[in-house]
Amino acid sequence: MAIKVERMTGLIGRDSDIPKIRIIRRICVEGYDTSLPEFDVDAALRKHFASCGDVVHVYIPIEELDKPLNRFAFVYLRGKDAEEKALKLSGSKVEGKKTLVSKNKEKKIVGGWNLVVKAYPFHENYLDPELAPMRAQGQKNRRAMGVTVYDNSSCPVMVEEVKSMLKCLFPASGKIDADFDMPKSGGPLMIKCLLHLYGEDAVERALQLSGLEMRQRNVVVDIICGPPPPMIIG
């Protein structure tokens, strides 16, 4: 889905000013088994595209929890030439393995699919009509998000100040945990943070903002955690 990102007071620079390695790219993927649980397809796609760069997030739309997955998913990548490498995997086969995928302990093959991979930049929205019926379910998602704040200022850093900045940048977040990571050989101070975002729109917006600067601090989204594994009963 296309989310409009408004530039906020305090944000510095344009997209062209952001180091390329920190920009997140979005691709669209088809060809997986839509009858499988979201957890299994998410894990398989993360593994398949790991060679292209950092797989920051995988979003597989679904209309209702007891219905099949949508026919296409979105994979969000970061890294040098990550998008180009991913596009070259179009037509490639995902490695398959048998695994438990249902409450009846049924074993199915996860993988063995030939994927179709297309670029789908953040400004694209031609898939929105097909995504509309799944929007309500997507807004129920609660995702854990790992963020690194690189502090380039010479001022003392206060944890509450960093949390306040992140709350301003990601207003749909819940509790924010933060830990300091001392710089190496004079590099910027790194503050590792864990947030919980509510709704896929908030996740999409966060991914678009990754890499921007705010108050002399560069905010980078490291990972959006995938869905929990399905419960195996019996």
Matching CATH number, 21-138, of 3.30.70.3460, 3.30.70.330, 3.30.930.10, 3.90.1310.10: 3.30.70.330
Domain with CATH 3.30.70.330 in the chain: 21-138, 139-224
Residue type, 152: N
**pLDDT digit string (tens) for the chain, length 234 residues:** 443 333 333 333 333 334 555 689 999 999 999 999 899 999 999 999 999 999 999 999 998 878 899 999 999 999 999 999 999 999 999 988 777 665 456 777 888 899 999 999 999 999 999 999 998 888 888 899 999 888 877 676 677 888 888 888 888 777 788 776 655 655 677 888 898 888 899 999 999 989 888 777 888 999 999 988 776 555
**Is the distance from CB of 176 to CB of 193 less than 8 angstroms?**
yes
Give DSSP secondary structure letters for the chain: -----PPPTTEES-GGGS-GGG-EEEEEEE-S-TTS-HHHHHHHHHHHTGGGSEEEEEE---SSTTSPPPSEEEEEEESTTHHHHHHTTTTPBPP-EEEE-STT--EEEE---B-EEEE--TT--TTHHHHGGGHHHHTT-EEEEEEEEEE--SSPP-HHHHHHHHHHH-TTB---EEEEEPPSTT--EEEEEEEEEESHHHHHHHHHHTT-EETTEEEEEEEE--PPPPP---
CATH number of 139-224: 3.30.70.330
φ, ψ at 21 (rounded to 5°) = -65, -20
